[in-house]
Amino acid sequence: MGALSLVVVSGQTCRVDGTALAGVCETGRDLEPARHAARVAMLNCIAALRDACEGRLSRVHQVLRVRGFIRAAADFTEHTAVLDAASDLLRIAFPAQPLPARTAVGAGSLPGGAWIEIEMDALMQ
């Protein structure tokens, strides 16, 4: 195996055709719209990672860390349940890898009113 390089994917929101899926997580509300937004944001992260790997996800040696910033009301406490939807996609994209370390935190606002923004750190060959 050759030398490994660190790839840092900066904040990717849940944008589709340039428009953010907007919303706020609130206690007692259905989480599925936010979980859908998390899947879209993770797909955008994976696309950015693929670009950094010159189009070859097979070069990804290990996803190290995922940070999810979830737009949420002050009393919302299910941040990890939202980010789980993004982690599910990592299991599909990189089935041989263990899941990375994760951080899920609430945010009062995000660009474009997005539900979620995700950052990712990975090692590539």
> Which residues on neighbouring strands pair with residue 123, listed in sequence order?
6, 62
* Predicted pLDDT at 18: 94
Query: How close are the terminal C-alpha atoms of the chain, in Å?
Result: 8
Asked if pLDDT for residue 1 goes beyond 70, the answer is: no
Rounded to two decimals, the pTM is 0.95
Alpha carbons 51 and 56: distance in angstroms, whole number: 8
Average pLDDT of the chain to the nearest whole number:
97
CA distances from 21 to 93, 111, 112, 114 (A): 22, 10, 8, 5
> Which residues on neighbouring strands pair with residue 117, listed in sequence order?
13, 69
41-100: pLDDT as tens digits: 999 999 999 999 999 999 999 999 999 999 999 999 999 999 999 999 999 999 999 999
Mean pLDDT of 107-112: 97
Mean pLDDT of 11-37: 97
Share of the chain above pLDDT 90, in %: 98
Is there a contact between 67 and 103 (Cβ–Cβ < 8 Å)? yes
Asked if pLDDT for residue 33 goes beyond 80, the answer is: yes
- Rounded to the nearest angstrom, the gap between the alpha carbon of residue 114 and the centroid of all alpha carbons in its chain is 13
Alpha carbons 72 and 2: distance in angstroms, whole number: 42
Alpha carbons 123 and 101: distance in angstroms, whole number: 13
CATH class of 5-14+21-124: alpha beta
* Predicted pLDDT at 2: 77
